[in-house]
Amino acid sequence: MATSTKTLTGPRPLAARVRALRPSATLAVGARAKELKAAGVDVLSFAAGEPDFDTPEPIKEAAKKAIAEGMTKYAPVPGDNDSRSAIAEKLTAENRIPGVTPEHVVVSTGGKQSLFNLFMALLDPAGDGSEARRVILPVPAWVSYAPQAQLAGGEVHEVVTTPETAFKMTPEQLDEALSPDSRVLVLNSPSNPCGTMYSPDEIRALGAVIERVTTGPAPRCPHLVVVTDEIYEKLVFDGQEHFSIGSIPSISERVLTVNGLSKAYAMTGWRVGYFAGSGDFGVEVAKATAKLQSQSTTAIPTFILPTLRVAFEQCQDFVEHLRSTFEQRAEVMYNGLTAIDGLVCPRPTGAMYAFPDVSAHFGKSSPKGTRIDSALAFSQALLDEHHVALVPGEDFGTGGEKCCRLTYACATEQIEKGIERLREFVDSLR
């Protein structure tokens, strides 16, 4: 009987864009935390980036009413006119961004999709005829900015910040980072993971740099666009004021503002995000991202759309209660962390995170023999030996590898208990 010599081959490797994505350095810690909890261990988690509040009742009722009234068919891709008008009105009156109309607004499945759509609309891969591919990213920064920009073809240029400057980029750093091929500047204030924010004067100073390099007869950065993620704008502390860079008239038409209802309105699972620009360019980008979205998710669920106006108009007391609660917790977290030997942590002034530098303890070992040579090793040993789950900072960009992120989106009692376990762990290192 003849033997076949045919060679069987499998499918070709996965696409390069997927193979190039780095796996999360935090997954091992998260998996270990779940394993311990399943075994009955009392794990205190400070990892979740979502409020521990329930969605306000008026928002829930608006969605129920919409379902009862039959709002269960397809919605327009960028959102219906009423929801887009509500967003435009909010950005005009509250954020003072000039010239925002419903035409400038696109509602997406969370702020993350809004960001993805924008990077895809603004960036070209190498060889596609555009030399403006550089993405300026102050780091440490939220884990998805760089991968999303790279998937779209951008080249990420990090601007490294430190705890000593509250993880904020200076105008001088921005000016040095900008070049003729700069296409996108990403801003996030208040910041995930850093928990700090730019003051109005600091935003204006960055805006002055942007105006200088984009105007005049021979601008240095003619193609520069600002993508500003303001998802934590309501969670600000110490009497500080959130200031939208899109409100600066001289650069407003170069600014694309991303926001959503996830954080301030405790609606993380509802997946409501949006972006808006202004001027002719803002309309052009809105049309482009709507076209992209039409080929992916289409629109958010129709019955969720009425909740936007209800949130903006009926839930500000809830937002203030959430904000003031987080402000109190931030103080407890900050005081506890800075009392621990070797930890360096800027005071949280916004969002829901503290981001201490733990590198003073690198080179030490835990009682069970774990060598502490990174934030990941620090987090793993802390979880295994004292049952506290943090997010190691490796995935947040340069500088993050020295830090760990803790959220105070949990009860004050848990914060105090977790801080005590963290102190005991640090004291045990030798």
pLDDT digits (tens, 9 = 90+) for 274-333: 999 999 999 999 999 999 999 999 999 999 999 999 999 999 999 999 999 999 999 999
What pLDDT is attached to residue 212? 97
Q: Residues 6 or more apart from 154 whose CB is under 8 A from it?
A: 119, 123, 133, 134, 135, 183, 184
Where do the structural domains in the chain lie, given as residue ranges? 22-49+317-428, 73-313
Long-range contacts, stretch 27-31, CB < 8 angstroms, 24+ apart? 28/376, 28/380, 29/376, 29/379, 29/380, 29/383, 29/389, 29/390, 29/391, 29/392, 30/389
Arch. (CATH architecture) of 73-313: 3-Layer(aba) Sandwich (3.40)
Using the CB atoms, write b or e for 98-113: b if 16+ within 10 Å: ebbbbbbbbbbbbbbb
Interatomic CA distance for residues 176 and 154, integer angstroms = 19
pLDDT at 22: 79
Low-confidence ranges of the chain (pLDDT < 70): 1-9, 25-26, 127-130
349 dihedral zone (left: phi>0; alpha: psi -120 to 50; beta): alpha
CA distance linking residue 134 with residue 72, whole number of Å: 42
Amino acid 130: pLDDT:
67
Thinking of the domain 22-49+317-428, which architecture would CATH place it in?
Alpha-Beta Complex (3.90)
pTM above 0.75, yes or no: yes
DSSP sequence for 43-101: -EE----S-SSPPPHHHHHHHHHHHHTT--SPPPTT--HHHHHHHHHHHHHTS--TT--
How confident is the model at residue 23, as a pLDDT? Answer: 74
pLDDT at position 125, please?
86
Determine the pLDDT at residue 48.
84
Say if residues 134 and 165 touch (Cβ distance below 8 Å): no
